[in-house]
Structure 1
Amino acid sequence: MKVLVLGGDSGFIGGHLSRKLKDPFQCKFVSMRDLSWMNDNFNANCVINLVGKAHDFTGKAAEEDFFYANFELAKKAFQLFVSSQANVFIHISSLAAIEEVESSMSLSENADYNSVSPYGKSKQAAEEWLMQQQLPPNKKLIILRPPMVHGAGDKGNLNQLYKLVSKGIPYPLVRFKNKRSFLSIDNFCFFIEQILLQHEKMGTGIYHLADDETLSSNEIVNVMKQETGLKVPCFPLPKHIIRWLSKLGDHSRALPLNTWRLKKLTSNLVVSNKKIKLTLAIQRLPKTAKQGLRETIRSFKQGH
């Protein structure tokens, strides 16, 4: 099976997929910035769209930057797919398209859109546009919504939290109890592999990806402490003081916590992966949530 991966020539997820997707797949990882690969007559059976813009810890990215990378280029990728011989288009969206901060229930694929950031709104816009398109005969659209994907090379919020813990800074969020869904990069690659092998079982539509278990922020910090061997003290400040400090952080980048990051660290956000597991008859994923987390933390440790 020939697989064309758009936006997979660089980046965290593309790098892992290039190492994981071996036989029976013949994969080509290309850039949307240089379309010279279109002259190669690769004739892919499946197109995976990884093109997008995710994290921006500098605060310099404008809303139009997110919409160009996550919406306009998604449209361009889909149009390339329609004009090709490929019959499956896998678009990597994000849970942020429907929810970014908190949910009191396990989110299924039919949950209402509630994106709030430029990133989430741009992912939502791409999903809505794609689902409105008329597919040519014998072509299929599969949209995947993962929560935070982590692993070696990840530069996201998990890496930011690790940097704080590894410096021995007392952890102040102990009083917050939460549950969040994550997805280890190994489990992500496993899902992609199974979709490629069994895509005939899947209909056009949206599917959620996630580890089978949830993790709390306290569990994550404990694993970080275990893997680093650091005796990081806990400093359980009252919640109202934490919230006040996070508001100060909204006005100063010198502070490690703001209201957005506090919500991301302490709120509940759980994803149901039942639909795709039932569709593909997946009994269990290769890694538990804690196994995947431990491997990610070890990679952070080796990288520092």
Structure 2
Amino acid sequence: MKKRRVLVTGASGFVGEAVIFRLLLDGKFTPIAAMRASTRLNGLCPVVPFDLCRPESMPVLSSVDVVIHCAARVHVMNETAIDSLSAFRQANVEGTVWLARQAASCGVKRFVFISSIKVNGESTGRGALFRADDEPAPLDPYGISKCEAEVALRRIGAKTGMEVVVIRPPLVYGPGVKANFLVMMRWLDRGLPLPFGMLDNRRSLVSLGNLADLIVTCIEHPAAANQTFLVSDGEDLSTSQLLLHMARAMDKLAILLPVPTVLLKLLGSAFGKSSAIDRLCGSLQVDIGPTQKMLGWQPPLSAEKAFRETADYYLEKYKK
């Protein structure tokens, strides 16, 4: 049986590399890694150069069956671009459109786009859930660019017949995670007292393994065509619970001080950290019921196991 050839953009990144390894493990596909820099994937699968902001670098797609588009200009904590929305649009909208048009013209059957839950918005009320068919409400340049890319892809799909699948993950964690999640693990590792003991919010997260599993499911599943899916571990946690679970996985003691939420927000405002505190204190929950029903999909990895895998990677990499 002929293996489907699957091109993965951003293959040197956190999500893209995990997808490549999952495709190699499955054995049913021939993954092609499209990326800017050399990584440990060299020698494991075909590798082609790719730069989302340089259309002349777009790989030849004539022999590709499916594109999984993970490459993106990601949300950054310390933005340096003068016009950040234009910078996000150049990569995440214009670059995605260039790639999708070439894919359609080369006969690529399906284009799987890794978007973001930020297309839905930044937070939900306690007990409320984001759904795939909600009216988009992105608030920051990254979310706006992902939303615009989704709209452009659907137009290309409708015009050319190429099937478009959109996946909107919330915060993704797992071996190799960086940014705020890595900072959190360092706090726990050092035994720092953290003022989050009274938080009773709820947040949806998705482990790298569960996200990669859904992405691979969407390569061939007939019901995935032209659909939008939300994804999570199916185990929403408060920030306090997240810290306790992660500390347990690291064999550490989480010291959580019972500081009222209103005081946390006042301190965040005083020190110019309102956005960060809002994320820590706020809720963001997604409804994965339609994803599960439509695809017959269940997250294969429990949050407990995913936290342990993340902790093991951290301890091996940073505690040698």
What TM-score, normalized to structure 1?
0.89
Q: Is the 1:100–1:120 contact (alpha carbons within 8 Å) kept by the matching residues of 2? A: no
Measured at CA, do residues 292 and 119 of structure 1 come closer, stay the same or move farther in structure 2, by a change above 3 Å?
same
Q: Is the 1:98–1:113 contact (alpha carbons within 8 Å) kept by the matching residues of 2? A: yes
Alignment-derived partner of residue 65 in structure 1: 87
User: What displacement does 1:172 show?
Assistant: 0.2
Q: Is the 1:93–1:143 contact (alpha carbons within 8 Å) kept by the matching residues of 2? A: yes
Alignment-derived partner of residue 242 in structure 1: 264
Q: Is the 2:244–2:254 contact (alpha carbons within 8 Å) kept by the matching residues of 1? A: no
- For structure 2, the residue ranges without an aligned partner over 5 or more in a row are 36-49
The code of the aligned residue for 2:303 comes to A
User: What displacement does 1:289 show?
Assistant: 2.3
Residues 50-70 of structure 1 show CA distances to partners (whole Å, capped at 9, x for unaligned) of 120223133324332222222
Matched positions, count: 293
Alignment-derived partner of residue 189 in structure 1: 212
Residues 31-75 of structure 1 show CA distances to partners (whole Å, capped at 9, x for unaligned) of 332756745x76111111112022313332433222222211111
CA distance in 1, matches of 2:19, 2:176: 13
Measured at CA, do residues 219 and 212 of structure 1 come closer, stay the same or move farther in structure 2, by a change above 3 Å?
same
User: What displacement does 1:227 show?
Assistant: 2.9
CA distance in 1, matches of 2:314, 2:98: 35
SS where residue 176 of structure 2 aligns? coil
Residues 104-140 of structure 1 show CA distances to partners (whole Å, capped at 9, x for unaligned) of 4111111122211111111111112222335355421
Q: Give the share of equivalent positions with the same residue, in percent.
A: 23
CA distance in 2, matches of 1:286, 1:236: 34
Residue 187 of structure 2 corresponds to residue 164 of structure 1:
yes
Alignment-derived partner of residue 246 in structure 2: 224
What TM-score, normalized to structure 2?
0.85
User: What displacement does 1:183 show?
Assistant: 0.8
Residues 147-179 of structure 1 show CA distances to partners (whole Å, capped at 9, x for unaligned) of 111111111322122222222221101111011
Counterparts in 2 of 1:97-176, with a 5 A limit?
A: 97-104=119-126, 105-133=128-156, 135-136=158-159, 138-176=161-199
The code of the aligned residue for 2:20 comes to S
CA distance in 2, matches of 1:141, 1:115: 21
User: What displacement does 1:187 show?
Assistant: 0.6
The code of the aligned residue for 1:59 comes to E
The code of the aligned residue for 1:81 comes to A
CA distance in 1, matches of 2:166, 2:278: 26
RMSD: 2.0
Alignment-derived partner of residue 275 in structure 1: 290
Alignment-derived partner of residue 27 in structure 1: 31
- For structure 1, the residue ranges without an aligned partner over 5 or more in a row are 251-257
SS where residue 207 of structure 1 aligns? strand
